[in-house]
């Protein structure tokens, strides 16, 4: 599996609750810059697998990659999604770690395992750009 070289990126993240609050769809889009002339975009679907009592995260990217991940939910200030990613004809373990930095900010690290331990392939700090509209309650998570 070929990984992309590290480069500075700017990214827009948009999310919406759907289907009576059972699912969140997220769209991430890297912004084109001279350092990033071929920006990546990804569509995520997050929700709950009530039979397993887990959060589910499935996603697809503009390079033809796809991933399936599951999580037991937040443990303190951290949320881990574990699963697999398939891209360029290979499937490998994938781990995403989200750490809350406050009510409107988080740190994210995405890692893959090519057989010799976890390798970071994606890392960013995210801060909410605007105050969200107040919802009618929490998501219907597990």
DSSP string for residues in 81-105: EEEEEEETTEEEEEEEEEEEEETTE
Q: What is the CATH number of the domain that holds 37?
A: 2.40.128.20
What is the model's pTM? 0.81
Asked whether residue 78 is assigned to any structural domain, the reply reads yes
Long-range contacts of 113-116 (CB under 8 A, 24+ apart): 114/1
Whether residue 6 lies inside any domain: the answer is: no
pLDDT tens track, the chain, 142 positions: 445 556 677 888 888 999 888 899 999 999 999 988 889 999 999 999 889 999 999 999 999 999 999 999 999 999 999 999 999 999 999 999 999 999 889 999 999 999 999 999 888 888 888 755 544 444 445 6
Q: For residue 136, tell me if it sits in a domain.
A: no
Does residue 51 form part of some domain? yes
Is residue 19 included in any domain, yes or no?
yes
Which structural domain range is residue 86 located in? Answer: 11-127
The number of domains in the chain is 1
Neighbours of 94 (CB within 10 A): 24
Asked if residue 102 is part of any domain, the answer here is yes
**73 occurs within a structural domain:** yes
In a domain, 69, yes or no: yes
């Amino acid at each position: 599996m070929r990984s992309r070289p590290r480069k500075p990126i700017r990214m827009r993240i948009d999310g919406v609750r759907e289907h009576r609050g059972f699912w969140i769809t997220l769209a991430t889009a890297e912004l084109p810059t001279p350092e990033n002339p071929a920006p990546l975009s990804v569509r995520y679907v997050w929700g709950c697998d009530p039979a397993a009592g887990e959060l589910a995260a499935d996603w697809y990217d503009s390079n033809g990659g796809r991933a399936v991940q599951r999580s037991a939910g937040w443990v303190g200030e951290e949320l881990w999604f574990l699963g697999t990613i398939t891209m360029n004809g290979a499937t490998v373990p994938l781990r995403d770690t989200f750490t809350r930095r406050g009510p409107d900010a988080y740190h994210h690290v995405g890692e893959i395992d090519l057989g010799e331990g976890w390798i970071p392939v994606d890392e960013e700090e995210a801060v909410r750009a605007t105050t969200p509209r107040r919802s009618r309650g929490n998501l219907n998570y597990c």
